[in-house]
Structure 1
Amino acid sequence: MFGRPYSRGKYHILNSGYSHHGANMVKKSLIGWDSTSLGPKSDIDDNINRLRQRSRDLYMGGALVATGAIKTIRTNVIGAGLKVKPAIHANVLGLSDEEAEEWQRRAQQEFNLWAGSKNSDAARRNNFAELQQLAFISWLVSGDVFVVPKFKKRIDTPYETCVLLVDADRVCNPQMSDVGDRTIIEGLEFSDDGEVVAFHICNQHPYDSVNSKIPRKWTRVEAYGKKTGRPNVLHIMEMERTGQARGVPMLAPIIEAAKQLGRYTEAELVAAVVAGMFTVFLSTETPNEPLGQSAVPDEELIDEDDENTVELGNGAVVDLGPNGKAQTVNPGRPYAGFNDFVVAVCRQIGAALELPYEVLTKQFTSSYSASRGALIEAWKMYKMRRSWFISDFCQPIYEEVISEAIALGRIEAPGFWSDPLIRSAWLNAEWYGPTQGQLDPLKEVNAAAKRVEEGFSTGARETSELTGGEFEANVEQIKRENRLKEIAGMKKNGGGDSAVLGDEQDPDKE
């Protein structure tokens, strides 16, 4: 009755807004798009084991660009280890500046005593800086890592606090079962309102056969101590969805692209190697007879037991045997468009990982402005991940160590145990790590000096970010050097021609 105009009008009504664009199910470009999305358990947690295994394979050599990305982020975020600088709230604690500086110096010495020793590791294999890089790598590659603060009596240190890193696979459901009531998801036990109340940790890697004679058993570790409220397990992960139980490996979005790029690169490499040799096809009128002799010496044969294998050598002449014919082949390798294709794929991989192409491949061949822009963009990601890692790992461990130092009486902190606000004021600290790097050091130094002069930053922060050093230590060293230079009649450092830091003004120059 209404004919085609009505049908078209009805179609227009049904396909307005998002239904006409991103949600359209009529256009040929979208009708075959299977984009069903489920809850975080189905989308993430049920697939986490396979994602974790494939991510590790890429990191261990499945794709060199993936390995480079992980190590680049590790080096720029953690480097040789993040350094702590206590920064207590002196006004809250009623301390003078001198008292605050002395307390902070003492606290840093005590923490460095603990952190610089392998006693900081429950397994006594790494110091705290090495534990940082191990935990960070595990977080990126596996999606998450677990940290268990423990106490072990040591003969050569006053501290019992130590850190046990737990591989992501060891936190799993008891007996590797799928719990029907959904209270335990991938080793995490949840309350009714979604709070993690306990972790189920296997005594060994559940998929490892090395300790197959030792029965596997799971220990239920409550998330927080009942008396102290102290966290018994630190779970380091990056959440993507509300209700998510386990972390997703950083390489997850680029697994397919990285793997295919690795395969293509390997195929091109093999083709280029073969093209560099004397490449032939062997044909014979007697196919039942074995192929001719290899051009490679017997001691270098890859498969010397297979008489039908012919291996090529550099500049080789192969004995073709009776009735054999040789046909040379030009494989056309290396492919002229190989580099452009790899660059295009790497740009997409870098965008997904928040690593500009220049940083991902370490090729700063563009202009100064473009290279600096790439470094700045990458640095934003480094700072974000460093901030998360400090909050989830470094700061909680620092608080554990300083709390033990106060309990042992090695550091005095009045009110520490009685008032949470006072305790927080004593435990406040800043962390510093690798610097951004400088394309033009003179410009960077001038900019840093200007920030300090205008009050936008401090000497301590700029020193740490530019050189990784400590401002106070530099000042003391400059004082000593200036005294030596004054004796030798040399030009002094740190304050121009007329100043010696920390000394009185030279009366001859008044």
Structure 2
Amino acid sequence: MNIVDKIIEYISPQTALKRERARAATHMIRNFINSGYSESGASRRKKSLAGWNAVSKSPYEDIDLNLDLLRQRSRDLYMSAPLAVSALKTNRTNIIGAGLKLKSRIDFEYLGLTKEEADEWERNAEREFEIWANSVFCDSTRLNNFYELQQLALLSWLMNGDAFALIKYDKPTSYMPYGLRIHLIEADRVSTPDNVIVNQGIVKAANGNKILNGIEIDNNGCVVAYYICNQYPNSTLLEFKKKWTRVEAFGERTGNPNILHIMESERCEQYRGVPYLAPVIESLKQITRYAEAELTAAVITGFFTVFIKTDNNTSEIPITSPIPDEEQLELDESSYELGAGTVNVLRPGEDVVIADPKRPSSNFDSFVNALAKYIGAALEIPYELLTKSFTASYSASRAALLEAWKAFKMRRTWFANDFCQPIYEIWLAEAVARGRISAPGFFNDIAIRKAWCGAEWTGPSPGQIDPVKEVEAAIKRIEQGLSTREKETTELTGGDWDKNIIQIQRENELLKRAMKGDEKSE
């Protein structure tokens, strides 16, 4: 204690006690502020962080309120930015490819079947599913078969943040015995109706549930229904009056989904997806502008344009422009055009000064490649795959492909769970109900139904940089019991081992007959 504290304590012990408590509290606060993240990412004293006022709110405020602009910019990049197109189509090609194929995997032990009986049932189910899946009649618009719908749904999901598939039914016909139809709609059409109740900024349905960006949720946060507009909200083709249809998320009696919502969540209690390109929209736009500027500079540099200066207006120069009149962009006499071999005659007193910014830049390629690596890291696509440039060593290229394949497999699993499997289960229920497939107990017990609905969805394989090494590694894994022939066939070629064995057996029999025929002829 200093002399002042001693005097205060002598005159007023209570005041001295308060001063001591205040001093202790201040000491505790200072120790608290100067601990942990307060001296790193949460520091408010460091000059490098002093102006960084980050504020995060609810998923609705951070995501939903910005979705419309994010979607428009994402679509614009898909239509104008080469790297953005590559990112989306690389995902589509590696995740879906020609389509995820059904491989039925029923729980035959639980169903009381032998392995041979299960194999026969699975082949029959796959054969029957192909009748529906390989026809454009599975699409309510009759434009795509099921496998083409897959790539469209995935591309819509990545570009817009989420995609929706309506479950519809039509009358079966002699050429299509199933009534199930899939209708894909883009994210824009799932939106909040105009004529809803707004109370203190909260949009509510007539039943009191909240509506967040076209999705109705109850007091427990469960998704109850979706509101679908009959047209795009931003469209100027106002052919019909705007009207929203409320579609319940699940059937009350069956529990089957009436609409499939495909999205990737990044935050808890998030009900709408974010476009795949959202974190790199600015980078992609800037690099596109830079590339366009360099391309324009290269074109201008390649032009050989002559400008002729005259002292009066009466000078006649017997040189004409190589650009025909009908191809000229500007017919105004005060305008001049640049072009290969173009000749422009200037008026008296006019001069042309062309800036020389030393373009195209010699650093263009290295800068774009560096930025492509930066963008690829954010999108989980290695630079080599994003730019389709495999100039590194075998080990580096293979490591890049394997790293990318982790993300592709993850999204393939999500897509199969959210799109392919629910549609297959709905189709199988119809097939059993119509008597085209026999599945005893299918509608009696949910456990039995799930056992009949077991399936895997196989897609394109990762591909091999050195097929010999890949096959040798696969053989060793099979020999050591680390993998199976079926799994390796799927991962190496995307094929079906069971069908391969049947085909090999047939080919061997044909080869034996051919060899016997040759021996007899000799």
Structure 1 pair 340/11, CA: closer, same or farther in 2 (3 Å)? farther
Deviates more, 1:429-438 or 1:25-34: 25-34
SS in 1 for 2:194: helix
1:90 corresponds, among 102, 108, 128, to 108
Paired with 1:57 and 1:388, the residues of 2 have a C-alpha distance of: 26
Q: Check if 1:215 corresponds to 2:234.
A: no
2:230 corresponds, among 174, 186, 203, to 203
Instruction: State how many pairs are aligned.
Output: 481
2:411 corresponds, among 354, 361, 385, to 385
Paired with 1:372 and 1:58, the residues of 2 have a C-alpha distance of: 29
Structure 2 counterpart of 1:131? 149
SS in 1 for 2:343: coil
Tell me the CA shift for residue 141 of structure 1.
0.3
Residues 213-260 of structure 1: CA distance to partner in whole angstroms, max 9, x if unpaired?
A: 311111111111111111111110011111112100000000111101
SS in 1 for 2:227: strand
Paired with 1:338 and 1:29, the residues of 2 have a C-alpha distance of: 30
Contact 1:294 1:312 in 2 (8 A): no
1:400 corresponds, among 401, 408, 426, to 426
Residues 359-382 of structure 1: CA distance to partner in whole angstroms, max 9, x if unpaired?
A: 110111011100000000000000
Structure 1 counterpart of 2:468? 442
Structure 1 pair 280/251, CA: closer, same or farther in 2 (3 Å)? farther
Structure 2 counterpart of 1:142? 160
SS in 2 for 1:369: helix
- Give the gaps of 5 or more residues in structure 1: 491-510
Structure 1 pair 96/35, CA: closer, same or farther in 2 (3 Å)? same
Contact 1:284 1:325 in 2 (8 A): no
Structure 1 counterpart of 2:46? 27
Contact 2:322 2:341 in 1 (8 A): no
Structure 1 pair 454/119, CA: closer, same or farther in 2 (3 Å)? same
Q: Check if 1:71 corresponds to 2:89.
A: yes
1:196 maps to a residue whose letter is: V
Paired with 2:214 and 2:139, the residues of 1 have a C-alpha distance of: 24
1:54 maps to a residue whose letter is: R
Deviates more, 1:461-470 or 1:227-236: 461-470
Contact 2:309 2:345 in 1 (8 A): no
Contact 1:282 1:325 in 2 (8 A): no
Over aligned residues, Cα RMSD in angstroms?
2.5
- Give the gaps of 5 or more residues in structure 2: 5-23, 204-209, 314-318, 517-522
Structure 1 pair 280/29, CA: closer, same or farther in 2 (3 Å)? farther
Contact 2:193 2:227 in 1 (8 A): yes
Tell me the CA shift for residue 323 of structure 1.
4.7
Q: Check if 1:477 corresponds to 2:495.
A: no
Contact 1:201 1:219 in 2 (8 A): yes
Residues 410-451 of structure 1: CA distance to partner in whole angstroms, max 9, x if unpaired?
A: 111111111111100000001100110100001111222222
1:192 corresponds, among 214, 219, 222, to 219
Deviates more, 1:326-335 or 1:390-399: 326-335
Paired with 1:203 and 1:10, the residues of 2 have a C-alpha distance of: 58
Report the structure number with the largest CA radius of gyration: 2
Contact 1:238 1:247 in 2 (8 A): yes
SS in 1 for 2:345: coil
Contact 1:280 1:326 in 2 (8 A): no
Contact 1:295 1:316 in 2 (8 A): yes
Percent identity of paired positions between Structure 1 and Structure 2: 54
Paired with 2:310 and 2:410, the residues of 1 have a C-alpha distance of: 65
Paired with 1:405 and 1:453, the residues of 2 have a C-alpha distance of: 40
2:34 maps to a residue whose letter is: N
- Runs of 4+ deviating beyond 6 Å: 6-10, 280-287
Deviates more, 1:307-316 or 1:23-32: 307-316
Q: Check if 1:352 corresponds to 2:378.
A: yes
Q: Check if 1:316 corresponds to 2:337.
A: no
Contact 2:306 2:341 in 1 (8 A): no
Contact 1:143 1:250 in 2 (8 A): yes
1:258 maps to a residue whose letter is: L
